[in-house]
Each structure stands twice: as structure tokens, then as C-alpha cells.
Amino acid sequence: MNRSFSWKKGFFLLFLILFVLGFPRLVDAYFLHLAVTFFLAMILASSWDILARTGQVSVGQAGLFGIGAYTAAILFNRIHLSPVLGMVAGAMVSVLVAALLGYLTLRLRGIYFSITTIAFAEALSVIWLMTPGFTGGAMGLSTPPLFGGDRQQAYYLILGILALTVAAVWLIQSTRLNFAFTAIRENEEVANVMGINPTRYKVLAFMVSAFFTGFAGGFYSHYNTYIIPYEVFGLGISIACLVMPIFGGLYTITGPILGTIIVKVIEEYLRVTVSYGHQIAYGLILVLVVLFMPEGVVGLWRNKISPLFRPASR
């Protein structure tokens, strides 16, 4: 809570903003596409971390992601709703589902909640396969390319959503919500006796998380032009959502962002060298992080690396 503003930090932030804004002019289509997938993953990672702040580990973010994706695609195919509005609608439907699911399941704790979320995503996948008339079934749904295939516009759109996500995390971190979330995570009974309604704040966190995850899902379906249940409701997405923030550092703004960059770079490298290599990497990263750096990259930097550079006088 004691965060002092420094000029060094300010300049770095300014440079970063100028860099990401000017990025599309500097690179070719491949790197632009890569940046879009990075930003998408950052949104998923950050919004998973929002829920994690209340101590709940969701392993079913793909459910919310898929709902966002399908809402956007279905609305486009049925009523030709503009893609961006479709994404907003996808986010809204995700929030609604999260509110319902959260109200039912967030009384559960720890592993029990996690299991429910896996079941939730898997169940959606099965429902989708059983109702091909409405959802496209195993064949999936397709939409025309977003902005007529203009990747620059897509880049700025997803950057905007990412900025919103980071702003939301920052807001949570600097208001009384931070106290409620942290207290619930650290000891739910005591938090309750201290006047905090645990279910309410957990459902709220889940809804905020669902909003951005659903938004990202909507973006994905239009950007990718094609979605199938196995993929958007798949465990792969749910796991990706949690590996990146855990690697980067939980309950921080920079953790999920930094974690995504590092994990994605490893993933991208392995994708071209070893088939399914990135999935092995996910498992390996999880094990190593849990064993050796429980506070992630951010914690490692704060506790081990940055003290090395501090002037000796302090």
C-alpha cells in the first residue's frame, strides 16, 4: 500500500506506452499476430489473478472464455451484431453465468471450488456438442475476419481491452476491495467475523474475472474466425490462465503480465521445435515455480535480485 511514485518508474511507463502504441509500425505481420496472442493471454492471466486474490483457484476459465467466444460468434451469425458489440455482449453473458455459478459454488472452498470449475467447462463442452443446431456442435462456428483482416486495428482493440483489465486490477488493488480480497484469501472465518461477507466478494471477483475473460473470448472468436468447443472450452486454456500468473507472481499487477511474456516466449519457441512441447513446459514450469519460487518472477526479483543492485549504504 506504500507505493511511492518515482521519476524512473514514470519514464519507464511512458516509454512502455509509446512502445506498445508504436509497435505495429515497427514490425511485420508475424510479430503483430504474436503481440495480439500475448495481449490476449495477458488478459486471461490478469483476470484469473483477480479471482485468485480471494483465494479461489479456478480451473475452468475456459468455460467463461468459451461463453464469450460463442456469444460473439452466434450474435454475429444470427443478427449480424457488430463484432465489438458482440464482444461486449459475450463479456456480459460471461458475467451473468459467473454470478450464477459463483453464487452456487463459491461457498465451497479450495479444491472443491476448483473441481466444480473444471466440471463447469467440461459440461459446457458436452452441451455444445449435443446442440449442434444452435451452437454448431463439433463443427464449430466461423465468422469473417475481424476488421476485414486488418491486424493493426485488432492489435489496438486488444491493447485497449488489456489496458482496461490492468486498470481494473489497479483499481482493486488500491481500494478497500484489496483488503477484503486479501483477508478472505488469508482466513475466511476471521474475515467473516471482521465484517466481511466472503461470498459476496468472491462472487464479485469471479464476475470481474468473467467480464474480461469473456471479452477476450469474444475477441478470440472474431480474430481467429473459427471456434470449436474442444478448443475454447478446453482444459488447455484453463491451465494457461493459471500457469502464467503463478509463474509471474500472484496478486500483483506486473506478475501476470511478466509471467505471460516469459511463458509465451518459451511456448512459442517450443511450438516450432517440439510438438506439444509447450504443454510439457507448462507442467514443468508449474512444478518448478511451486517448489522453488512460490512468489513467482516478481517475488524473485523483489527478494533476491533487486537487493543486489541496491546501494550498499541502505
Partner 1 sequence: MNLEFAGAIHESPLRGSAVIPMSLLEVKNLTKHFGGLAAVQGVNFAIGRGEIVSLIGPNGAGKTTIFNLLSGVYTPDQGEVRLDGEDLVGRRPFEICRRGMGRTFQIMQPFPHMTVLENVATSGLFGRAPKASMKKVEEEARELCRWVGLGEKAGMFPRNLPVADQKRIEIARALAIKPKLLLLDEVMSGLTPTETAEAIKLVRQLRERGMTIFLIEHVMKVVMGISDRVIVLHHGEKISEGPPRQVAHDSKVIEAYLGEEMENSEEPSC
Site string for partner 1, 120-159 (x = CB under 8 A): ----------------------------------------
Structural contact between residues 51 and 209, judged by C-beta atoms closer than 8 angstroms:
yes
Question: Which one of the spans 27-35, 111-119, 125-133, 174-182 is the region binding partner 1 (CB under 8 A)?
Answer: 174-182
Among 73, 183, 210, 285, binds partner 1 (CB under 8 A): 183
DSSP assignment string, the chain: ------HHHHHHHHHHHHHHHHHHHHS-HHHHHHHHHHHHHHHHHHHHHHHHTTT---S-HHHHHHHHHHHHHHHHHHH---HHHHHHHHHHHHHHHHHHHHHHHTTS-HHHHHHHHHHHHHHHHHHHHH-HHHH-GGG-EE-PPGGGG-HHHHHHHHHHHHHHHHHHHHHHHHSHHHHHHHHHHH-HHHHHHTT--HHHHHHHHHHHHHHHHHHHHHHHHHHHSEE-HHHHTSHHHHHHHHHHHHHH-TTSSHHHHHHHHHHHHHHHHHHHHSTTHHHHHHHHHHHHHHHH-TTHHHHHIIIIIHHHHS-TT-
Among 189, 291, 308, 310, binds partner 1 (CB under 8 A): 189
- Does 180 participate in binding partner 1 (rule CB under 8 A)? yes
Q: Which is nearer to partner 1, 77 or 192 (CB)?
A: 192
Provide the minimum distance between the beta carbon of 178 and partner 1 in the complex, in angstroms, as a whole number: 9
Residues near 138 by Cβ (< 8 Å), separated by ≥ 6?
129, 132, 228, 229, 230
Question: Which one of the spans 108-116, 178-186, 208-216, 235-243 is the region binding partner 1 (CB under 8 A)?
Answer: 178-186
Binding to partner 1, residues 230-289 (CB under 8 A):
none
- Does 182 participate in binding partner 1 (rule CB under 8 A)? yes
Among 21, 29, 190, 288, binds partner 1 (CB under 8 A): 190
Question: Which one of the spans 49-57, 164-172, 188-196, 241-249 is the region binding partner 1 (CB under 8 A)?
Answer: 188-196
Q: Which is nearer to partner 1, 41 or 191 (CB)?
A: 191
Residues near 306 by Cβ (< 8 Å), separated by ≥ 6?
none
Distance CA 104, CA 284 (A): 33
Provide the minimum distance between the beta carbon of 200 and partner 1 in the complex, in angstroms, as a whole number: 9
Q: Which is nearer to partner 1, 121 or 183 (CB)?
A: 183
Question: Which one of the spans 57-65, 81-89, 186-194, 271-279 is the region binding partner 1 (CB under 8 A)?
Answer: 186-194
Binding to partner 1, residues 197-226 (CB under 8 A):
197-198
Residue count at the site for partner 1 (CB under 8 A)? Answer: 19
Among 82, 131, 175, 306, binds partner 1 (CB under 8 A): 175
- Does 1 participate in binding partner 1 (rule CB under 8 A)? yes
- Does 192 participate in binding partner 1 (rule CB under 8 A)? yes
Distance (Å) of CA 136 to CA 140, 201, 226, 237: 5, 36, 11, 20
Among 82, 152, 153, 187, binds partner 1 (CB under 8 A): 187
Q: Which is nearer to partner 1, 133 or 195 (CB)?
A: 195
Q: Which is nearer to partner 1, 188 or 267 (CB)?
A: 188
Name the site residues for partner 1 (rule: CB under 8 A).
Answer: 1, 175-176, 179-180, 182-183, 186-187, 189-198
